[in-house]
Structure 1
C-alpha cells in the first residue's frame, strides 16, 4: 500500500471574531458606559447655582446671663416642642452641645422669629 502522509491542521492560537462576535463584544463593553452616562445625565440637573445671594432666613439673639437653649426655645416658640426648637437652633449654629454662654450670638430660624 503506499505511504500516505496525513497533515493535521494545528490551531494558530489566535481567535478570529466574526462580525457578529465583534458587535456582541462591543455592545457588552459599551453597556456599562451608556448606563453610567444616563445615570449622570439624569442627576446632573438637580443642582442649580444662583448669582444673587439669598436673603437671610434667620435672626440673631444675644444670650444673656442665666439663658439656656431651653429657656430661649420657650420664649421664641411657646407652642412648639422645645426639643424641636433646640435641635433646629443647634443645627443652624452647628453647635455640638446645648451649652451657651452670655454674650454669644445665636442664629434663630426664621419660623421661630416674630414677623
Structure 2
C-alpha cells in the first residue's frame, strides 16, 4: 500500500521560538527593481483621474446652467391665468368661465395640455393654468 505524506507550506509552519529576521537582513531596498507600468496601468493612473474630474465638472455645469422650472410661471406663448381649484370645479366650468371666447372643448383640451393632466378629476387646492383666449 502506498503512503501519502501531506505537508503544509513553510510560511504556515510556526514554532514558539520563531523570530522573523530584521528588515535590513532581508535585502537592501536599493536592490529592488523600479516599478514599471504597462500601457493599461498608465491609462488607469492617468486617464481615470482625468475622467473623474471631467464627470464632476460636467455635473456642476449641468446644475448651474440648467433652467429653473418654477411652477408659478406662465407657460411660454400662451396667455393663461393661474387658478386655484375649489371643490365642485370642473374643467368644463373653468373653460366656460375663464375662456368664454374659445370653444369649450378646445379650452378643456388646452387646460389639460398646459397642466399635464391625465384625468378630468380635479383636486381642491390644486393650481391650474387656464387659457384666457385671444
TM-score grouping bracket, smaller chain normalisation? 0.3 to 0.5
Q: Which has the larger radius of gyration?
A: 2
